[in-house]
Amino acid sequence: MRRWLRHVFHLGTKELHSLRRDPVMVFLIVYVFTFAIWSVASGVRTEVTDAAIAVVDEDRSELARRLVDAFQPPYFRSPALIEPGEVDRVMDAGRYTFVLDIPPDFAADVLAGRQPALQVNIDATAITQAGIGLGYIQSIALREAQRFAHEVEGGADLPLDLVVRARFNPNLQSSWFTAVMQLVNNVTMLAIILVGAAVMRERERGTLEHLLVMPLTPSEIMVAKIWANGLVILIAALLSLRLVVEGMLQVPVAGSVLLFAGGSALYLASVTALGILLATLTRSMPQFALLTIPVIIVMNLLSGGSTPLEAMPDWLQLTVQILPSTHFVAFAQAVLYRGAELGTVWPRLLAMLGIGAVYFLAALARFRAALAAQQA
């Protein structure tokens, strides 16, 4: 056992030196955990921000003016007043995401209790702003109508006072969510690419044959690549969490970074084994790249980081449980967002351990077969 550990250590050290001498891979690691996270988190917005809105005011009342004035930055741009005949033209040109049409006698109908209708035309090609922005417009219109009726009629206050408390993200900033999920997705992507490329590089350069003539076992070679590449990604991810997510993007981390590091190490052991498994199924670097693209896309999109698992069909919710990324996303969200402790997330860690063991054994079997074929 001591000899096995010594071989694994020295092979892993060799892997680190090889990675250090590869400027493309070093640049990829730095880029993925710095600019790639910052640019996506700061540039991609899921909340309504600076939405273009126009208003067709056919009422010309005090209530209509209040509605127009209620749409303010940072959610909406200052509304533009247009004529009814311009609606189709400006919507076709894509100038506005929302066009609100206030009908004639709107204020009078509100005071008379007739519940008049407002028409909202939405450019649904901007799907995120369309869905969320409609809720904003409904809330604004209802609030202003109620205030107007109360002031003019002197009616009683509403019997219900709704107080909204958003936990874990009080201001509903999309960057808080996007930054952490981008970090998690990049860990998955880089772990597969880095260790798989290491195997393919050994094969294409002919250095794998040199290892075969040495008194080394396939498990030693494989475990060395896993711990060396996994360690690099783990250190880069933790530095990115501190410097980019917390430092540059000002996203607070609620839970234990040490616990997150331990879970990340467990996840990296499983996903790097998957990278080796994929590398053994291909014969060249281009083939490996083409195979990893759909695997990474599926793992990231179906992990629960982009779409909630509850929104997926029942059969798909069960199927994605075999992906380690599904459990890692749930683990990372629980620790980093909600401050969960080990007693809460241990089932996710156990699931990653079990899935990782299956990947490791499958990768080891394929790796042994590939080495045997190379020797023959």
pLDDT digits (tens, 9 = 90+) for 325-366: 999 999 999 999 889 999 999 999 999 999 999 999 999 998
Query: Which amino acid is located at 358 in the chain?
Result: V
- Evaluate if residue 295 carries a pLDDT over 60: yes
Question: Of the candidates 358, 372, 194, which has an alpha carbon nearest to the alpha carbon of residue 276?
Answer: 194
Q: Per-residue pLDDT tens for 216-264?
A: 788 888 899 999 999 999 999 999 999 999 999 999 998 899 999 999 9
Measured between alpha carbons, how far is 9 from 223 in angstroms, rounded to an integer? 9
DSSP codes, 26-50: HHHHHHHTTHHHHHHHHH---S--S
pTM: 0.81
Q: How far apart are CA 202 and CA 196, in angstroms?
A: 10
Task: Name the helix (H) or strand (E) containing 20.
Answer: helix 2-20
Compute the C-alpha angle 240/241/246, nearest 5°: 115
For the stretch 98-135, pLDDT in tens is 999 999 998 888 888 888 889 999 888 767 778 888 88
Residue 363: C-alpha distances to residues 108, 170, 271, 280, 281 (Å):
73, 44, 11, 8, 10
What's the rounded mean pLDDT across residues 302-327? 88
Query: In the sheet where 98-102 sits, what is the strand order?
Result: 80-81, 53-57, 98-102, 119-122
**What is the distance, to the nearest Å, from the Cα of residue 50 to the centroid of all Cα atoms in its chain?**
23
The predicted structure's pLDDT at residue 135: 86
Assign 158 a pLDDT band (cuts: 50, 70, 90): very low
* Three-state DSSP state, 128: helix
What distances in angstroms separate CA 91 from CA 46, 81, 99, 125, 244, one per listed residue? 22, 14, 8, 11, 39
Q: Which fold has domain 53-153?
A: abc type-2 transporter like fold (3.40.1710)
Q: Which helix (H) or strand (E) holds 120?
A: strand 119-122
C-alpha distance from residue 123 to each of 53, 100, 102, 118, 131 (Å): 10, 12, 18, 16, 10
Looking at the chain, the whole-number percentage of residues with pLDDT higher than 70 is 94
Q: Binning pLDDT at 50, 70 and 90, where does residue 57 land?
A: very high
3-state SS class at 357: helix
What percent of the chain clears pLDDT 90, i.e. is strictly above it?
Answer: 46
Query: Mind listing the pLDDT tens digit for each residue in 30-54?
Result: 999 999 999 888 877 777 888 899 9
pLDDT at 341: 93
Domain locations in the chain as residue ranges: 2-44+173-375, 53-153
- What would the mean pLDDT of 166-191 be, rounded to a whole number? 86
Alpha-carbon gap, residue 7 to 243, rounded angstroms: 35
Instruction: Compute the distance between CA of residue 219 and CA of residue 273 in angstroms, rounded to an integer.
Output: 11
The pLDDT of residue 75 is 87
Judged against a pLDDT cut of 80, whether residue 210 lies above it is answered with no
Longest Cα separation, the chain:
93
Above 70 in pLDDT, residue 156?
no
